[in-house]
Every structure is written in C-alpha cells, then in structure tokens.
C-alpha cells in the first residue's frame, strides 16, 4: 500500500517576470530552457519519480553554464553535508577541512550534538519494540511510527551537526531499500533504520549486509520470509547479487537459484514480527555461488552458512568495485574516474569492508578536489540545502501529527523524491539527467519562493531575509545582488547578475536607496531567484 503525496504548500509566483529573469539566469542550460517553458505557471501537478536510472551522462552536463567557486571548504560542504550554512563554513575555515572531515568520520565520539539529541526525544515511538508497536497502535493508526521515521530522518538531515553521517545514512537507505511508508514494514521500519543502517553506516559493510539479512523489514520487502526449500523465492537472492553486492554481469541464473537456497530459513515469526530462523524451511545440500561453496549438511546450521555466504559477498572484489563506484557517484561525479574507483575499492578490501576509510580516501583524493561542479543536487538535496542556508530552525513540538516536517515530506514527494519513498529495490537515481523534469523543477522554484517569503514551513522560524542585506546598504543594485549571492553561497556570472537587477527594473550600476522595492517587498523574490539558479543547484 502506498499513499499519494498532496501538493505542498507554496505561494504564487510572479510568473511573467520570473520567466524572463530565470531565462537569464540559466541561458543555454537545461534549467534555463525549462525556465522559459514553464515559469509562466505558478503551480504544476506533482511529478512521479523517474521509472529507471538513465544512462550516465558527463557529470553535470545539463548545468554546464553554471558557475561555482573552487573554494575547497564550500566544495567539501556541498558534497559532505546537506548544504553549507554560514556557521558551518566559519567552523570549517577555523578547524581546516581535514580536521573537520576526521571528526565527521567519528561522529559519535568527536562531534557532540546535544541539540539534535534533545530534538530526537520528540519521536518517542522510535524506541518501541515491534511487539509494542503492534500492541499500542490501533489499526487506524498503523502509519504513525513510519511517519516518525521519515520526520526524524528529515530533522537529522536538516539540523544535525553530524552532517557527513546523515549523508551516508541517506546513501545506505537508498542502497538497501526498504520503502517507507509501506504496509509491509509498519511495525519495524524504525528498527531497520536504527539497527541496520545507522548502526553500521560508517562501519563494515559485511556487518550491515548480515544485519539486513536478519531483519524482518528486508526479509518481508524482498519476500524471503515466505521462501521455503520446496519453493525458494528468488527475489532476495537475486537482489542480493544484483543490487546489494557484486552487480549485474558478475553472476549467472544458476547463482541466483543457489543464492535463494542459501537464504531459505531466514524468516519472520508471524506472532512477534521478529526475525526467526525456521530450519524446517531450510534447503540442505551442497551450495555454490560464484567462487564460494559450502556442504550445507544440516538444517540447524543454516544461519551460520548464510553468514559465511553474506560475508563472502561483502568481501568480493566485484562488490568492492560496486560500492566504491556508488560512493564515487554520490560524492564525486556522475561518471567518476576509473582510477578513483579502483583506489577506493582497494581501500575497502584492505580495511575489511569498513566504509569510513573509503570515505576519507575519497574526500582527500585529487579526483575529488578536481570534481568541482560535477554533481547536481537532487530535488531532495535542493530542498534541504535551501532550508539550511536560509537558517530554518526546528519548530516547537506540534500538538498534532500535522508538523512542518511532515509537510516537507509531502512536498518532497511532489518533487519526485520523498525520503525512503522509492518503491523499487534499486533506489533513487543519483545522476543529473534523472532530475531535469519541468514539473519537478517548477515545484522547486515555488518551494524556494515560499521559503524566502516565509509562506512555507512557517512553524520553522528563520531569520528575515532583510537580515541578509548588509549594513551599510550596498551602493548599487549589483552590489546588493552580489551580497545576497555571497550569503547564499552562489557564484554569479555578470549576465546572471544583470538579469536579477533587471528583474527589479534596474541596471546593475543604478544607485540603491533605502526603502526601495529590492530591499523590501521584492527582496524575497530576489533571494528565491538566487536559489532557482543553476549555480545553487550544483552539489
């Protein structure tokens, strides 16, 4: 069962004028073309997520005309966080990028996060065990804990100081896919996130893979809970090879059948909802997958055999290469250099599948340093980065389930990328070509304007955009636009600067006076245009 996300709350756009200025902001780019075609409408129907990952295109090719800074601090924070903020940029400039990175790779000990820890106490049901969820929630409220999962996921991404951890958690959430909300995991999705994804996000992938195979959420979503020796269900056995480990081209259909047999017996207890090993369902006899084999002589040893198999897959060179490449696609480029992928795979194997050393090697690599401008934010990342750079703060605890975080969840669904919302086991695509749809883009623009004008997510307080205007007042319109762009970490071309000035009916060199429309009622629109630009879209 899945729900349809309603249209997010957003304010009307000043359509004709925005159409002209957005064309100037993105002339010659895919985003600029979309602006010309679609900015005349204030709203658009929610767009569905892409049906499949498209073929990779050269990095951020659709945004080739976008400009971004080569500042190493901003480059790191665009990739290793959900968006830089003025406070975070100042912190990293003070500590240095390597020291900040090392702390982020040991977040539980090196990055105190008391404000986030206090905020998480709001979602009390995340600590419930499966039987408590089943006993305490009526049938009419079965989605309650799952909504706490996505709300807390968004809260951490927005407000946690452990930003790198949150991006990695999101990466693994999109790798070991358990769709939320979903009727199959209403009583255990929160425990999958806690015990599988978060617990092992920066640890060893072999541990995460084994934990997933023992979790009711994965076993139910991929149908292994119903697999038996007489009728092995191949769904989990196949996805384990195709998506979770070695990848397409590295296994045969015989491997898939054997993989399914190895996993028989790993099931779920119908009464408790907990993981249950059922030896009566276990296939017994020799099994062989790729270069691994086991006599598998007795049903009672099925868990141990499956553990050896999963550990073998996690340590397979093809898995190392696949995980390395996926991490490089997430943090470096849509088409990462083969040299980098090879190097990261070697680090992965040399460290017993540990992820933190791989990420350290990635972020300190020359390939990463040279990748400025080669990634584009997904709709999800764009929304979070917009909230973060505008300084949104957590809302007071809502008295009902109608929280701003839930509004944000539904809004992201209208962009085609609600967190944990991808229904297929292959996860959301992470290449620029997948997210160039006109409807999704227009929804983002309306979202930016709603944020800047304080019409959207109003319970999350934020500084008034008037505080972004320097004092003393800039002398010209160009100087004002430059100051706002710097505050939002956007690097403009001369043509883009002029386009925004023309939007408020002035030349860049015109003198700016106190009380002018550009620093009063039209200021939110200028801020929104800067967030609309291809430059802000660069990850």
| Cross-strand bridge partners of residue 511 | 476
User: The dihedral of CA 153, 159, 165, 171: what is its sign?
Assistant: positive
How many other CB atoms are there within 10 angstroms of residue 394's CB atom? 19
Task: List, for residues 125-162, the tens digit of each pLDDT value.
Answer: 999 999 999 999 998 898 999 999 999 999 999 999 99
Q: Where are the alpha helices (DSSP H) in 424-488?
A: 438-452, 477-487
Percentage of residues in the chain having pLDDT higher than 70: 87
Q: Is 415 helix (H, G, I), strand (E, B) or coil?
A: helix
pLDDT over 60 at 64, yes or no: no
- Quote the pLDDT of residue 387: 98
Q: 34 pLDDT band (50/70/90 cuts)?
A: very low
Higher pLDDT, 447 or 36: 447
Express each pLDDT in 481-538 by its tens digit: 999 999 999 999 999 999 999 999 999 999 999 999 999 999 999 999 999 999 999 9
Whether the predicted model's global pTM rises above the 0.85 cut:
yes
Closest CA to 74 of 345, 304, 389, 317: 389
Whether pLDDT at 448 is above 80: yes
CA–CA separation, 2 and 221 (whole Å): 13
Please give the pLDDT value at position 26. Answer: 52
**Is residue 25 very low, low, confident or very high in pLDDT (cuts 50, 70, 90)?**
low
Least confident of 21-30, 101-110, 368-377, 439-448: 21-30
Average pLDDT, the chain: 89
DSSP collapsed to 3 states, 156-190 = HHHHCCCHHHHHHHHHHHCCCCCCCCCHHHCCCHH
Contacts of 259 (CB under 8 A, 6+ apart): 234, 237, 238, 240, 241, 251, 289, 309
């Amino acid at each position: 069962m899945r729900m349809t996300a309603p249209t997010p709350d957003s304010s009307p756009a000043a359509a004709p004028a925005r159409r002209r200025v957005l064309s100037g902001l993105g002339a010659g780019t895919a985003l600029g073309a979309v602006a010309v075609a679609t900015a005349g409408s204030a709203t658009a129907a929610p767009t569905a997520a892409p049906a499949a990952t498209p073929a990779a295109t050269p990095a951020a090719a659709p945004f080739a005309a976008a400009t971004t800074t080569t500042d190493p601090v901003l480059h790191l924070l665009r990739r290793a966080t959900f968006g830089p903020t003025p406070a975070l940029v100042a912190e990293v400039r003070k500590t240095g990028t390597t020291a900040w990175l090392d702390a982020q790779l040991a977040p539980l000990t090196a990055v105190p996060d008391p404000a986030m820890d206090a905020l998480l106490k709001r979602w009390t049901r995340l600590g419930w065990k499966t039987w408590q969820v089943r006993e305490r929630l009526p049938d009419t409220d079965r989605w309650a804990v799952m909504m706490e999962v996505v709300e807390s996921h968004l809260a951490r991404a927005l407000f946690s100081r452990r930003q790198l951890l949150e991006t990695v958690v999101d990466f693994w959430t999109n790798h070991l896919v358990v769709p939320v909300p979903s009727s199959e995991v209403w009583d255990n999705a929160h425990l999958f996130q806690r015990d599988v994804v978060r617990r092992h996000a920066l640890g060893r992938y072999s541990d995460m893979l084994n934990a997933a195979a023992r979790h009711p959420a994965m076993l139910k979503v991929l149908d292994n809970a119903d697999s038996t020796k007489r009728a092995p269900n191949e769904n989990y056995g196949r996805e384990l090879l195709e998506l979770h480990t070695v990848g397409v081209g590295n296994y045969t259909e015989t491997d898939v059948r054997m993989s399914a047999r190895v996993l028989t017996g790993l099931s779920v207890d119908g009464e408790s909802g907990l993981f249950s090993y059922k030896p009566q369902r276990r296939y017994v006899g020799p099994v062989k997958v790729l270069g691994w084999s086991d006599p598998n002589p007795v049903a009672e040893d099925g868990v141990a055999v499956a553990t050896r198999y999963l550990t073998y897959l996690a340590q397979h060179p093809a898995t190392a290469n696949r995980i390395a490449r996926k991490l490089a696609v997430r943090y470096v480029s849509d088409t990462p250099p083969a040299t980098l992928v090879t190097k990261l795979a070697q680090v992965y194997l040399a460290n017993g599948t540990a992820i933190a050393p791989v990420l350290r090697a990635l972020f300190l690599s020359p390939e990463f340093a040279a990748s400025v401008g080669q990634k584009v934010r997904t709709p999800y990342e764009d929304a979070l980065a917009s909230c973060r750079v505008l300084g949104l703060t957590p809302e007071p605890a809502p008295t009902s389930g109608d929280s701003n975080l839930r509004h944000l969840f539904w809004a992201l669904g209208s962009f085609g990328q609600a967190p944990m919302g991808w229904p297929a086991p292959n996860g959301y695509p992470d290449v620029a070509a997948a997210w160039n749809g006109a409807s999704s883009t227009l929804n983002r623009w309306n979202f930016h304007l709603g944020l800047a004008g304080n019409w959207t997510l109003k319970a999350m307080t934020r500084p008034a955009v008037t505080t972004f205007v320097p004092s003393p007042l800039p002398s010209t319109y160009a100087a004002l636009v430059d100051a706002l762009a710097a505050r939002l970490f956007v690097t403009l071309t001369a043509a883009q600067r002029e386009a925004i000035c023309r939007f408020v009916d002035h030349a860049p060199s015109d003198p700016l006076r106190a009380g002018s429309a550009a620093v009063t009622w039209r200021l939110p629109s200028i801020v929104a245009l800067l967030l609309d630009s291809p430059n802000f879209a660069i990850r």
